[in-house]
Structure 1
Amino acid sequence: MVLPFMTLFLTKDLGYSLSQAGWAMGAYGVGSILGAYIGGQLTDKYGFYYIQLYSLLGSAIFLFLLVFIEDYYLILVTIFLFALVADALRPANSVAIATYSKPENRTRSFSLMKFAINLGFATGPAVGGMIAQYAGYHWIFLLNTLTNILAAYILFRYLPYDDSYRPAKREATTPRGLSAYKDITYIKFIILTAIWGMLFFQLFATVPTYWSMDYGFSEGKIGRLLALNGLIIVLIEMPIVKRLEHLTNFMEMIALGSVMLVGGFLALNLGGGLPGMAVLFIVLMSMGELFSMPFMINYAVSRPDEDRRGQYMALYSIAYGVANILAPIGAMQVAEIYGFNTAYWIAFGLSILITILFLSMRKVAMTRP
């Protein structure tokens, strides 16, 4: 709920510039990278359960602090610490899903996780937009604090810890699987994933500010548009993934999702603030998410040996952390000098490039490390 309105909160409510808002979102990205790395290391060592629990509770504390802080540098530090703690959950949560699922239904399992996330996203931005418009942005942070605490309680109460969640001890003579940092094919995949994420995250990092500043969209209208993304995923992702989960060449599906990003940025640039074109942009970006993300995460979690899974998932999460840095900082800097449309034409060109590059990996990605 918080992230889609962060740049609007900083620019409209607190009066900071576009570039300052971009750097604040960049601080989120840096925290996300470190949090994912630390979370992956801790998950491989201690297991996924308590990493998830403490991440939810810790991130709630920093969200609560953002209700009261207005100094720019304190905001940067708090956003960084929030992302650090919050994104330690990502590798742990991915390992948890892989643990609970079987290889044959793993893509569907991750899609179910995304279904839950998008069910919240189908309502969160709409509710958040209304709250921001009629009560103020600070109430979004407070409400998000409460939902984090509630999620931690549900995990602790209804999915209690079991000793089987602890990683199995490995004999000293047993060789470990290939490190994620030495898997060249996986590194290439991670670089492309970071670029893909940078493009997709424009939906949350810069587009709300673009719609507000260039076309006068209200917070409520922006919230409803963003909620459409979650609603589309909730309604159609599971049936589509169920029909496609038998496919094993993940790169072809990821490339198909990247094609949708191409169409999305074309619609955004040619839309001219028309509501129908804004809806088309959301639909195309949502289809890009639907076709790419489940197969990205399945590839990432299926490629390594089990004792390296936390490390691989940490690197996967780091890719999105890098994207969270580059998405707002790069686009906002370009937008402040040359305008938002220039930034989105660059995104259009990059979308074409990564489509080609993902397709070029479809053979080599099938080989085991």
Structure 2
Amino acid sequence: MKKLYFNYLNNFKGLSKEVWWLALITLINRAGTMVIPFLSLYLTKSLNFSLNQVGWIMTCFGLGSVVGSWLGGKLTDKIGFYKVMKASLFLTGVLFISLQFVTSFAGICAGIFLVILVADTFRPAMFVALSAYSKPENKTRSVTLIRLAINLGFSAGPAVGGIIITTLSYGGLFWVDGITCILATLLLTNVLHPKKSRVVDEVKNENPVSIFKDRAFWIFFASMIMFGVVFLQFLSTLPLFYKDAHHLTEFQIGLLMGLNGVIIVVLEMPLISWLEKSKFSKEILMFFGLFLTGLSFVVLNLANWTEILVISMILATVGEMIAFPFSNAFVLERAKRGNQGEYMAYYSISFSLSHIFAHNFGMQFVDVLGFVDTWNIMILLSTIGMVLILILVKMIKIEKNELKPSNATLN
């Protein structure tokens, strides 16, 4: 047991102190993200919106994410990651607290759009900061540490959120979300001031290649949209499935979703460290991650017993643990050929676009077709995503083969 413990700790060795500070800031910020997993329930149960209305509200969520990610990338390349992260965290906190006082359909659509726009300017900036503070050989593990922080907060968030809803109200979630964002801003200001920070690997390409000429990236981009649409059902339609089809309480839903974060906190870093040493490429690992995520919906249609929900969550979690870190590392590596902020922005935009379609389509499909056929559609989208990744694998092989002659000449 002692050996296992020290082996686990060894997975974190070599990461810079700035990456650890980024992880702590992210942990504080994400610990308050209790609103998001319960948003569909809040809108239907507390504000009495229809599934059709919730679908459009979640589309506004996605549109805000697209604009915010794009704007975050542009601002990061112009004014630097620090200023963008600081402004985003503080303003997001203020806006989350304000959002609870908006109750009309039009107001919620506009409010969600604005909150997520401001919140998602943080993501490209944070990824560029993460890349700058990480040694090249540590980038995947640095990404994994940030995800560990996200999921440590996310695992506690839904469980505590369920308790707050049960004992107080949904309004308390908005207060906690806003206050934690402001606290994260204060920590960022004190520990990651640019003059005090030590940049390890800041890449500035003087002659950047346009991202729009990078065909392999756009195949990857499309596969990530497919992955995002499928995975994001865990934040919108699946909580409704747990409630309506399996009659779970908000507290039980929080515990089930919290299982995702617990598994990631305990297993993701050792898993990623082991996979990095394997012979598999980042592209193949992304393929396997998407396969497991699709499989999590297959099992939902195999049985009606409640325990199948746990199996589905475990499969989706392992798929997520593999797909996210290696897709992120793939983009960080590829971004060296262009503007880093732009690459990380479009990586974030792939999931923002997923938000636009995932929640709305999911809600509409459930409303018209029911849960079973909706899960079948998610299985189909997973398959399309896997095919796209196989195409990406071939394109990367061709790229590497084209580079070999020039390398031979240099030698």
Q: Shorter-chain TM-score: which interval?
A: over 0.9
Task: Report whether the alignment pairs 1:74 with 2:74.
Answer: no
Which residue among 227, 250, 263 is the counterpart of 2:282? Answer: 250
Q: Secondary structure at the match of 1:86?
A: helix
Distance 2:260 2:203 in 1: 42
Q: Match of 1:210?
A: 241
Structure 1 residue identity aligned to 2:124? P
Q: Secondary structure at the match of 1:305?
A: helix
Unaligned runs of 5+ in 2: 1-33, 404-411
Contact conserved, 2:219 with 2:391, CA < 8 A, in 1? no
Contact conserved, 2:155 with 2:262, CA < 8 A, in 1? yes
Q: Match of 1:57?
A: 90
Q: Match of 1:260?
A: 292
1:197 Cα deviation from its structure 2 partner: 0.7
Contact conserved, 2:209 with 2:338, CA < 8 A, in 1? no
Which residue among 307, 325, 335 is the counterpart of 2:356? Answer: 325
Contact conserved, 2:76 with 2:341, CA < 8 A, in 1? yes
Distance 2:213 2:387 in 1: 24
In the TM superposition, 1:229-308 aligns within 5 A as 229-246=260-277, 249-272=281-304, 274-305=305-336, 308=339
Contact conserved, 2:335 with 2:344, CA < 8 A, in 1? no
Unaligned runs of 5+ in 1: none
Q: Match of 1:196?
A: 227
Task: Report whether the alignment pairs 1:87 with 2:148.
Answer: no
Decide which moves more: 62-71 or 10-19. 62-71
Structure 2 residue identity aligned to 1:187? W
Q: Secondary structure at the match of 2:368?
A: helix
Distance 1:193 1:12 in 2: 31
Distance 2:120 2:202 in 1: 24
TM-score normalised according to structure 1 size = 0.94
Q: Secondary structure at the match of 1:15?
A: coil
Which residue among 368, 375, 379 is the counterpart of 1:337? Answer: 368
Decide which moves more: 335-344 or 279-288. 335-344
Percent of residue pairs bearing the same amino acid type: 36
Distance 2:211 2:35 in 1: 32
Contact conserved, 2:226 with 2:384, CA < 8 A, in 1? no
Decide which moves more: 262-271 or 159-168. 159-168
Q: Match of 1:346?
A: 377
Structure 1 residue identity aligned to 2:144? S
Q: Which has the larger radius of gyration?
A: 2
Structure 2 residue identity aligned to 1:51? V
Q: Match of 1:28?
A: 61
1:69 Cα deviation from its structure 2 partner: 1.2
After TM superposition, the runs of 4+ consecutive aligned structure 1 residues lying more than 4 A away are 163-170
Task: Report whether the alignment pairs 1:110 with 2:143.
Answer: yes
1:362 Cα deviation from its structure 2 partner: 1.4
Q: Match of 2:257?
A: 226
Task: Report whether the alignment pairs 1:40 with 2:73.
Answer: yes
Distance 2:358 2:266 in 1: 27
| Aligned pairs, number | 365
Distance 1:25 1:175 in 2: 39
Q: Match of 2:39?
A: 6
Structure 1 residue identity aligned to 2:299? A
1:307 Cα deviation from its structure 2 partner: 5.4
Decide which moves more: 306-315 or 84-93. 306-315
Contact conserved, 1:176 with 1:308, CA < 8 A, in 2? no
1:306 Cα deviation from its structure 2 partner: 6.5
